[in-house]
Amino acid sequence: MPAISVVLVVHNQLALTRACLESLRATTVPFDLCVVDNGSSDGTETYLHRGVPAPRCYHRNAENLGLIRALNQGARMAESEFLCFLHNDTEMREPRWLERLRAAVEAGPSVGLAGLYGARRVRRDGRYPSRTIVHCLDGSANLRSPVVEVAAVDGVCLFLRRALLESIGGFDEGYGFFHGYDRDLSFAVREAGWRCVAVDAPFVHRGGGTRTGESAPVPPAEDLVQRRAALRRFARKWRHRLPCDVRTAGERFADWLRPRRR
């Protein structure tokens, strides 16, 4: 059995899921694919049963239970030592992407969570200052080295040991439908004595309306309400660790000199 399971949560958006899975064909290390389908009605189920690559395990919910609950379902389905939670609107541009994520966690020192996008500073209110956001998006990457420590990893890609996830109780479903789980996981990992990092492995993020588009399960206005509520919950829960900044004094000064993003 491969040492890594890639967990994908899907809800409609078949074209995005197909493109994501096709981009994983060139991956240099073997992995199991675990898919949780939140009640798709657009042919996703048929594709996942007949398409290639087919998932090692597939679970279909009768309705959309939300991303966070589905992530925990996927984690329970997976049996590998390492888990990689990946959004279905991503496409990998580097065949060694999974290899690099695993190397970052195995090499340390004390790295518990790795991803492709993150923030080096988190404010007291839980927000990310734009100057401290780092990523390896294809064509606009701003990582200064192959592995960069961050305060929090974005949920577009989350890689960690299954034992670590289990030890911290999995994803906190108290955040509700979608928001806050990645910040919370990052700080739970840090609370357990581990570091978080962003890894250089170019990828594309389609952002294809899976959360706020026409077929999104939550209207944009309600999505905004949920996002703000999750941020408040995060700030209350982790107030003993906020604000958080992993940069050196020199890095903070260099970031302060850089122009703000618009």
Each domain of the chain, given as residue ranges in start order, spans: 4-257
Fold of 4-257: Spore Coat Polysaccharide Biosynthesis Protein SpsA; Chain A (3.90.550)
* Cβ-contact 231, 152 below 8 angstroms: no
CA distance 104 to 148: 10
Residue type, 153: V
pLDDT digits (tens, 9 = 90+) for 83-97: 999 999 999 999 999
**DSSP for residue 243:** S
Residues 6+ apart with CB under 8 A from 112: 105, 160, 161, 164, 189, 190, 192, 193, 194, 195, 196
* Cβ-contact 112, 161 below 8 angstroms: yes
pLDDT digits (tens, 9 = 90+) for 135-168: 999 999 999 999 999 999 999 999 999 999 999 9
- DSSP, collapsed to helix, strand or coil, labels residue 209 as coil
Largest Cα separation within the chain, whole Å, is 54
Reported pTM = 0.93
What DSSP string describes 156-195? TEEEEEHHHHHHTTSS-GGG-SSTTHHHHHHHHHHHTT-E
**What is the percentage of the chain residues whose pLDDT exceeds 70?**
92
pLDDT class of 53 with cuts at 50, 70, 90: low
* Cβ-contact 154, 117 below 8 angstroms: yes
